[in-house]
């Protein structure tokens, strides 16, 4: 699975958009980009995933660059409840269990 | 509602004791995973299983054991051989087919006293 690089921390004002970047320059053609978040002392929560096209769901939007070497998770109107660690993971979708390792992620702090 | 249940939420263990952490899922997922998380760190894979009666070691399997006798259940035993067991333990599951994400449980916090 491709390695990802994320900034260790970011701040965002409440009500503003939070844009969380992720670099995955070694991504291969059949690897998806996944985003999860972990609120303190809870299990991680799946947010969104994508392959090539931009994706949007009720939680967030995912923008993947045309060369697929980086992506941005967008929380359009951040709230205090969005304060969490956000993980960007890249892996293939296959018929076997995936041995994923979650790195340190980005600590997003939403400020009042 | 479907999901993953981990129990107990908090667990205290005396040094030299084995303890077993429970993980049950009703999502009909084939694959199940155990992760360990230390304070301020990411998640490290302990064991994973993609079918009943079969499981594989992850990156930090030493001092841990698992079983997969039922599709729904994947208990983790922290043995006395694990020298630093105090940590937050997370169980997850996923389908094997399709680009679906993991579903995580709420975790068990183990403390050695």
- All residues at 6 or more sequence positions from A104 whose CB lies less than 8 Å from its CB, including other chains: A6, A8, A85, B40, B41, B42
Closest chain B CA to residue A94: B97
Across the interface, do B94 and A32 touch by the CB < 8 Å criterion? no
What residues of B are in contact with residue A103 (Cβ under 8 Å)? 42
Across the interface, do B33 and A45 touch by the CB < 8 Å criterion? no
Across the interface, do B45 and A100 touch by the CB < 8 Å criterion? yes
A98 band by pLDDT with thresholds 50, 70 and 90: confident
What pLDDT, in 10s, does the model give residues A61-84?
A: 999 999 999 999 999 999 999 999
3-class SS of residue A12:
strand
What pLDDT, in 10s, does the model give residues B4-61?
A: 999 999 999 998 899 999 999 999 999 999 999 999 889 999 999 999 999 999 999 9
Judge whether B102 is closer than 8 Å to chain A, CB to CB: yes
Across the interface, do B33 and A102 touch by the CB < 8 Å criterion? no
- All residues at 6 or more sequence positions from B7 whose CB lies less than 8 Å from its CB, including other chains: B21, B22, B108
Distance CA B48, CA B33 (A): 4
B110 band by pLDDT with thresholds 50, 70 and 90: very high
A101 band by pLDDT with thresholds 50, 70 and 90: confident
Q: How many helices and strands in chain B, by DSSP H and E? A: 0, 11
Judge whether A54 is closer than 8 Å to chain B, CB to CB: no
Examine the pLDDT at A5 and tell me if it is beyond 90.
yes
Which pair of tokens denotes residue B4?
A: 């993953």
Residue B39 CA from chain centroid, whole number: 17
């Amino acid at each position: 699975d491709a390695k990802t690089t994320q900034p260790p921390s970011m701040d965002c004002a409440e009500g503003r958009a939070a844009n969380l970047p992720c670099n995955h320059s070694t991504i291969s053609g059949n690897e998806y980009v996944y985003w999860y978040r972990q609120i303190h002392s809870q299990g991680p929560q799946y947010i969104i995933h994508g392959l090539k096209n931009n994706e949007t769901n009720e939680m967030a939007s995912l923008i993947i660059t045309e060369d697929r070497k980086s992506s941005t998770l967008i929380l359009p109107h951040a709230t205090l409840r969005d304060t969490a660690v956000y993980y960007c993971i890249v892996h293939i979708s296959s018929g076997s269990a995936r041995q994923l390792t979650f790195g340190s992620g980005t600590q997003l702090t939403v400020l009042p | 509602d479907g999901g993953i249940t981990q129990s107990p939420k908090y667990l205290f263990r005396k040094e030299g004791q084995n303890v077993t952490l429970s993980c049950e899922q009703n999502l009909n997922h084939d694959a199940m995973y155990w992760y360990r998380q230390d304070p301020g760190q990411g998640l490290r894979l302990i064991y994973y299983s993609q079918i009943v009666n079969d499981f594989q070691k992850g990156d930090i399997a030493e001092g841990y054991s698992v079983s997969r006798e039922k599709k729904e259940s994947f208990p983790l035993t922290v043995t006395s051989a694990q020298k630093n067991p105090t940590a937050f333990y997370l169980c997850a599951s996923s389908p094997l087919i399709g680009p679906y994400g993991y579903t995580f449980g709420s975790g068990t916090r183990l403390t050695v006293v």
